[in-house]
Structure 1
């Protein structure tokens, strides 16, 4: 979910196959709608969860608010929500332990090779150049004050 744009996207795979994918936003509408909707989606598609009002007073361009559907998707698929009042059975997502891993190069050779390759590439590229778009749509290189 992306709250600044009211965008929602989720997908579910089972045994390596896509079974459900939904992408929806007020600006783009329904970008993808693959597979049968899950039970938690039915009230939204049936018009039972309309957007009550908007700040502008204009009608909302979708029959439901994507972020509300997103919260219900989180609850149904993962057992928690991130916004709103949690149900008593919801998991506290901040209490779920996660495993962390550190990848190490015990000899140091891999990191040294990466750094040497990076230096080689930087030398091949030369100095950075900057351009300005002119009114006619062409680009003009901006002289670097440091190189003079």
Structure 2
């Protein structure tokens, strides 16, 4: 799997509905939103892009302002411990839902988290090397089959290593289900009939230094 994501969103309700009905505001509104999440940084226009660019370069923030939601793709906004989300971002999410999703296929790392009106209701971060870094709140229904052992990692046929995979499931497999449940689309695998076409959601890219 080659999946990588770095997503943070603020939504008034169902984020998936906001993305599905995407009628984005212009570049100026997106730039203002980027300045709010990166106060004191220099922000410069970079390029037009779309929601499929969910893991941009280190100094790039992709952003879109929608009716009822703001979505950002930025590696600096996803954390190994999502519970440590900075206070200014929690303040921006006051009265709203905040959703984080991060994956990195090189190390099989996954995190996702949800806040409701500033209160963390679910956070998971794990990788085979670090184990379970954070596991806070009640697990969502889409997670339960993984924790119940229904998605074990099968060894490669020619792998001589007898050591079992150190987690009960592959983080990136759960990560795809989390991405669909929280954002409404997937990176790998066959899109479902109700999935959002991430290529159809335009975003504005900015250099943030």
- Measured against the shorter chain, the TM-score band is 0.5 to 0.7
Structure 1 16/25 Cα, relative in aligned 2: closer, same or farther at 3 Å?
Answer: same
Q: How does 1:121-132 map to 2 (within 5 A)?
A: none
* Higher-helix-fraction structure: 1
Q: List gaps (5 residues or longer) in structure 2.
A: 1-102
Residue 71 of structure 1 aligns to a residue in which SS? Answer: helix
* Higher-strand-fraction structure: 2
- Cα RMSD of the aligned pairs, angstroms, is 2.0
How far apart in 1 are the matches of 2:128 and 2:119?
A: 28
User: What is residue 118 of structure 2 aligned with on the other side?
Assistant: 16
Q: How does 1:111-126 map to 2 (within 5 A)?
A: none
TM-score by length of 1: 0.64
How far apart in 1 are the matches of 2:197 and 2:109?
A: 24
Q: Which has the larger radius of gyration?
A: 1
Deviation at 1:83, TM superposition (A): 1.0
Residue 81 of structure 1 aligns to a residue in which SS? Answer: coil
Pick aligned residue for 1:66 from 143, 149, 171? 171
User: What is residue 106 of structure 2 aligned with on the other side?
Assistant: 4
Over residues 72-122 of structure 1, what are the superposed CA-to-partner deviations in whole Å (9 max), with x where a residue is unaligned? 0000001100111111111111111235689xxxxxxxxxxxxxxxxxxxx
Q: How does 1:1-148 map to 2 (within 5 A)?
A: 1-54=103-156, 55-58=159-162, 59-98=164-203
Residue 98 of structure 1 aligns to a residue in which SS? Answer: strand
Residue 143 of structure 2 aligns to a residue in which SS? Answer: helix
Structure of higher RCO (CA pairs closer than 8 Å, 6+ residues apart): 2
How far apart in 1 are the matches of 2:104 and 2:161?
A: 22
Deviating runs (4+, > 6 A) in structure 1?
Answer: none
